[in-house]
Structure 1
Amino acid sequence: MPDLLRSLLSICNVLLLSVGLLACSVNPEREEQGGELGAAESTLALSHAADRLLVTPPSAVNWQPFALPGKRHVAFEPVFVLEREALRVKADNSVSILRRRFEPILIKPGRLNFSWKVDALPAGAELADGEASDSPVGIVLGFEGDRGRWSPRMHRLSEVSRLLTGEELPYATLMYVWGNREALGTVVVNPRTDRIRKLVLDSGTQKTGVWRDHERDVRADFRLAFGEEPGPLRVVALMTDTDNTQSRLTAWYGPLTLSSMTD
């Protein structure tokens, strides 16, 4: 069991950052609060802004910020940038996640539209390096699937996760990211588990400080990344991650729209 737990921690550390799977509710006293708003006012303002900006098919669960055990959390803040509403993260050696779980699960995700902007990139970040795989912005999608295709090791890890947290690991996680030097369109397989794959949509510093708008076919991107058809969608999340490289930067997320193929 000690070896299994060590494996779980090494793999789940990445999975945690991907979907906030084992995350606990944010402790407002540990958040980096913006402006002069108190904790309750900041939480309410973020909730209202998320409802306006981040549009998905219906779910019984609202968008929620999550903090990871042992990781510094910086809160998402509603802001206006040149009259454009956005959610801002002032990252500082931190991991920030804003997540929505689908209850019921979204059977057939369709198209995804979103925009993001950054003022800098994490120094020395390498998406394929488990010790330096930070990304200034990310959109994370966690999928269900046929766990019969998993290796015995993944089944054991998922069972330990269920016993420890009450939740199984996602079958597969697709992440849209901004890389430091990776070529556009590159699919990066996580070095700790091939059940997490990253698709590079922006790369390098040439477009920093500029809003980048993206429209993606989720199902086509999943096929590209994993070579199989996607299952139902369990979770969608925004994630800014700079803790491995101990970087400081500011990221902004604009409107996001996720559709269902049944719409």
Structure 2
Amino acid sequence: MLVSVFAMTLVACTHAPPSLPVKAADSPWEEVRFPGKRVTTYDPITQGRFVGWQASAQGSASMLRRRLHVPQGVEPTLRFAWKTNALIPDAVVGVVDKDDAVTSVVVAFDGDHQSLSLKNQMLFDLAEMVTGERPPYASLIYVWGHDQATIESVVNSPRTDRIRKIVLEAGPAHLGQWREYERNVIADFKRAFGEEPGPIIALGIMTDADNTGGRAQAWYANVDLTTSR
């Protein structure tokens, strides 16, 4: 259901923005549940220097998010680590009804909603009516893809062009290992969307297996978005 896709990136921010430098760790994590979806559980974990959550999904989809505000023109650095021991059978990033990911890190952006296509404006209105929150103008999602996915490829959501994904891992080569990343999200946004980004309004993590009805387990750690003056 398309509304559920929008709900999965419901990270709009209505609070007053913190002053720079922005550090995502300064704002609390909160659970986001999606209408009609079973809930993925997120349990706190510490494994040496890796501090974060264990995510467990069973035909489910829900998110943890942090609200924040990084003004347009600032280039923050996204750092995080993730790990999984198994991929989701039959999951294929970008394919309708198979578009699950064992690991996802979401960065949401604001923008001029009036510039959206009429179709997207109508879908945003519907999502807001169902969930009580308006979807962000654009969402950039980093994922662990299936065997045939291409590392660093950009995959458009099959249901809306306002959600685009960058594949950071593909297939089983690094299962069971902590994988650490450092990304320039502004450069990634420009490559994925071909436009200038607006302010960043939230950061999230999500393990979902609702489309395939499968099971997934993953670990996230040291997830942060920082800027400097």
**TM-score of the alignment, normalized to the shorter chain, above 0.5:** yes
Which of 8, 15, 18 is the equivalent residue of 2:9? 18
Corresponding position: 1:132 with 2:98: yes
Corresponding position: 1:114 with 2:105: no
Contact 2:32–2:63 under 8 Å retained in 1: yes
Which of 212, 218, 221 is the equivalent residue of 1:245? 212
* Aligned counterpart, 2:108: 142
Whole-Å Cα distance in 1 between the matches of residues 210 and 129 of structure 2? 27
Shift of 1:57: 6.5
More strand by share: 2
* Aligned counterpart, 1:45: none
Amino acid at match of 1:242: A
Give the 3 Å change call, closer, same or farther, for CA 160–74 of structure 1 in structure 2.
closer
Amino acid at match of 1:245: T
Corresponding position: 1:211 with 2:178: yes
Amino acid at match of 1:16: A
Identical aligned pairs, as a percentage?
Answer: 38
Task: With the length of structure 2 as denominator, give the TM-score of the two structures.
Answer: 0.86
Task: With the length of structure 1 as denominator, give the TM-score of the two structures.
Answer: 0.76
Shift of 1:19: 3.2
Corresponding position: 1:197 with 2:164: yes
Shift of 1:165: 4.3
Where 1:76 maps in the other structure, the secondary structure is strand
* Aligned counterpart, 1:74: 40
1:153-164 pair list within 5 angstroms = 153-164=119-130
Contact 2:87–2:216 under 8 Å retained in 1: yes
* Aligned counterpart, 1:259: 226
CA displacement 1:73-117 (0-9 Å, x = unmatched): 132111233564331012222113111122xx3213511010000
Shift of 1:156: 2.2
Whole-Å Cα distance in 2 between the matches of residues 75 and 162 of structure 1? 24
* Aligned counterpart, 2:60: 94
How well do the aligned residues superpose, as a CA RMSD in angstroms? 2.0
Whole-Å Cα distance in 2 between the matches of residues 83 and 222 of structure 1? 29
Where 2:3 maps in the other structure, the secondary structure is helix
Shift of 1:253: 0.4
CA displacement 1:208-228 (0-9 Å, x = unmatched): 100100110000000010001
Give the 3 Å change call, closer, same or farther, for CA 249–161 of structure 1 in structure 2.
closer
Whole-Å Cα distance in 2 between the matches of residues 57 and 81 of structure 1? 19
Corresponding position: 1:230 with 2:197: yes
Query: Gaps (5+ residues) in structure 1?
Result: 1-9, 22-54
Whole-Å Cα distance in 2 between the matches of residues 127 and 112 of structure 1? 22
Q: Compare relative contact order (CA 8 Å, sep 6+) and give the higher one, 1 or 2.
A: 2
Contact 2:7–2:127 under 8 Å retained in 1: no
Contact 1:19–1:237 under 8 Å retained in 2: no
Report how many aligned residue pairs link the two structures: 216
Contact 1:109–1:233 under 8 Å retained in 2: no
Give the 3 Å change call, closer, same or farther, for CA 84–163 of structure 1 in structure 2.
closer
Which of 128, 137, 146 is the equivalent residue of 1:171? 137
175-184 or 107-116, larger mean C-alpha shift: 107-116
Corresponding position: 1:85 with 2:51: yes
The structure having more radius of gyration, on CA atoms, is: 1
The runs of at least 4 consecutive aligned structure 1 residues that moved more than 6 Å come to none
